[in-house]
Amino acid sequence: MMRSLFSAVSGLRAHQTRMDVIGNNIANVNTPGYKSSRVTFQEVFSQTLRGASSPTGTNMQERGGTNPLQVGLGVTIASIDTIQTPGNLQPTSRLTDVAIEGNGFFVVSDGGRQAYTRVGNFTVDGDGVLVDYEGRKVLGWSADSAGTLPADRSERNLGPITIAVGSNMPASATKNVSWIKNLDAEAAVGTVKTTTATVYDSLGATHVVTIEFRKTAMNEWSWTATAVTGAASPPSPPDNYGNGILQFDSSGALSSTAGSTQVSFNPTTGAAPVAIDMDFDSVTQVAGPTTIETGVVDGWPTGTLESFTFDSTGTISGFYSNGMNRVLGQIALANFPNPGGLQKAGKSLFVESNNSGDPDIGVAGTSGRGTIAPSSLEMSNVDLAEEFTQMIITQRGFQANSRIITVSDELLQELVNLKR
């Protein structure tokens, strides 16, 4: 009977632990990124009253074998497992909210310890650094001034990511202008078509270049940059900022160019001299209206960062007031051989353990890592129906073990009463 008392007490303790875990799961049903836990039991080592005996033979005069006689000594906790299945995604309206669709963890650091989380309710601090709700820096890779990410995006190059809204993008002088569309093949020799191109100098000032296209012969047109606003007078001779000849074949495609393919001028703004390569490869000469115009014109004025967004790989693109956009950085994701082996550190954080394996840090959407869902948060993966069911089972198990204690106590009382 004493064994039954101790077994029942172990059952109460085990079911109490199980109820603690269920209660914690239900308490965190609305906690973003929370991963539920479960408890499994195992029996305690049994007390052997008699060992097993082997058969003495197969004849009728010989004895057969006997099984061992053992009495169990109760129950104990086998494991408390963290269920790392993804939770549902909830859309939000915040630019800095991100969620992971699939496997992986965000990497954050408080300056002394690196931790991992599924909670992506990030924000930007006073220095423009991407941080979580407690100021831990979100790690990834920052782009250079040209918007280029490092070629080696591994743990070796991890660092904080800066998204400084209001920061400046320096101006860039125009270096290339491409021309597109058509020059009329039926136009008479001497026909002139004038169009313009807007370009920028190194200070971001705008200049309008006037280009004159003149038909000089069959399948041949000349071009001349006749004027540039905000530019010093052109050199003389020739009295222009650049000129050349365009020759077309019988199918209307550009066959060759002669003379210069560059427009150059000195801005009156104090900017550096501007030299622009003119690309006419996409211009045609076929029968039809003359529609020639500029295609791609590089260069831009000074701009300020106004907003940003994340894509599915965690790449952060900034949008500037000058109409340009540029890559600012990329969030890193970490994956583990055994995510269930991670140790909870509180505040929705996990840290490595001896059984989690080393983190495999890299780009979202590669090597088994999930993708990034912008303006979303991952909700808890707690299944209330499952938790309520387990709560009922646990309650019944606790009641049954308490009944064992009651009955054992009554038996002991009967034993005491024998001496009366």
CATH number at residue 247: 2.60.98.20
Among residues 269, 297, 325, which one ends one of the domains? 297
pLDDT at position 155? 83
Q: Answer left, alpha or beta for residue 407, where phi above 0 means left and psi between -120 and 50 means alpha.
A: alpha
Domain that holds residue 236: 176-297
Of 268, 297, 326, which one is at a domain's C-terminal end?
Answer: 297
Residue 359 maps to a domain: yes
In a domain, 255, yes or no: yes
Residue 154: its pLDDT value, please?
A: 84
Residues 407 and 374 in one domain: no
Please report the pLDDT score of residue 210 as a whole number: 95
109, 123: one domain: yes
Tracing tokens 């820096």 back to the chain, one arrives at 137
Q: Are residues 39 and 185 in the same domain?
A: no
- When divided into structural domains, the chain yields a total of 3
Question: Do 235 and 162 sit in the same domain of this protein?
Answer: no
Is 157 in the same domain as 192?
no
Q: Is the domain of 144 the same as that of 192?
A: no
State which of 234, 263, 297 marks the end of a domain: 297
Q: Is the pTM of this model over 0.85?
A: no
**CA pair distance 238, 264, nearest whole angstrom:** 13
CA dist 185 and 288 (Å) reads: 7
Quick one: CA dihedral 290, 219, 295, 211, positive or negative?
Answer: negative
* DSSP string for residues in 75-113: EEEEEEEE--PPPPEEE-S-TTBEEEESS-EEEEE-SS-
> Is 59 inside a domain boundary?
no
- Are the beta carbons of 316 and 327 closer than 8 angstroms? yes
Per-residue pLDDT of the chain (420 residues; tens, 9 = 90+): 578 888 889 999 999 999 999 999 999 999 999 999 999 999 987 778 888 888 877 676 678 788 888 888 889 999 999 999 999 999 998 999 999 999 999 999 988 889 999 999 999 998 999 999 999 999 999 999 888 999 888 888 899 999 988 888 999 999 999 999 999 999 999 999 999 999 999 999 999 999 999 999 999 999 999 999 999 877 665 678 999 999 999 999 999 999 888 999 999 989 999 999 999 999 999 999 999 999 999 999 999 999 999 999 999 999 999 989 999 999 999 999 999 999 999 889 999 999 999 999 999 999 999 999 999 999 999 999 999 999 999 999 999 999 988 888 888 888 888 876
- For residues 39 and 103, state if they share a domain: no
198 and 287 in one domain? yes
Q: Are residues 373 and 386 in the same domain?
A: no
Q: Kindly state whether residues 144 and 123 are assigned to the same domain.
A: yes
Residues 290 and 350 placed together within one structural domain of the fold: no
Model pLDDT, residue 123: 93
Note whether 359 and 325 are same-domain residues. Answer: yes
Looking at residue 411, what is its pLDDT? 85
